[in-house]
């Protein structure tokens, strides 16, 4: 595609100000929709690991084993 054809394509027959924002919104919203569960998954697993670590530390104490020193919240 040469420069002129590209310019014609981007101009969208004078409707560039309507067509391209529509397409941009389409992608932005769907990318946000994709990222949301990815970030939520990380948070859920992180919280779960913290809970598990606390649990095993408590079990370690009650069974008389010296627990590894952790920074308690």
Partner 1 sequence: MSNWIPLWVHKLGSPPTFYRFAGIVMPWMMALALLSGALGLYGGLVLAPADYQQGDAYRIIFIHVPCAWMSMFIYAVMGVSSVIALVWRIKLAEVVAMESAPIGAAFTFITLVTGSLWGKPMWGTWWTWDARLTSELVLLFLYLGVIGLYHAFEDRRQGARAAAFLAIIGIINVPIVHFSVDWWNTLHQGSTVKLFGPSKIAWAMLWPLLTMTLATKFYYIASLFRRVRTDLLALEGGKDWVREIARGEDDR
List of residues contacting partner 1 (CB under 8 A):
9, 12-15, 18-19, 21-23, 25-26, 29-30, 32-34, 36-38, 40-41, 44-45, 48-49, 51-52
Residue 46 to residue 39: CA distance in whole angstroms: 11
Helix axes 16-62, 3-11, angle to 10 degrees: 80
Minimum Å distance from CB 33 to partner 1?
5
Residue closer to partner 1 by CB (options 34, 64) is: 34
Assigned token pair, 4: 């002129």
Minimum Å distance from CB 54 to partner 1?
13
Task: State the residue for tokens 């308690």.
Answer: 72
Residue closer to partner 1 by CB (options 13, 64) is: 13
């Amino acid at each position: 595609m040469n420069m002129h054809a590209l310019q014609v394509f981007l101009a969208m027959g004078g409707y560039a100000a309507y067509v391209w924002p529509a397409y941009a919104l389409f992608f932005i919203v769907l990318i946000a929709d994709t990222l949301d569960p990815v970030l939520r998954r990380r948070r859920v697993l992180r919280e779960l690991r913290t809970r598990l670590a606390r649990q095993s530390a408590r079990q370690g104490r009650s069974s008389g084993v010296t627990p590894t020193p952790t920074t308690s919240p």
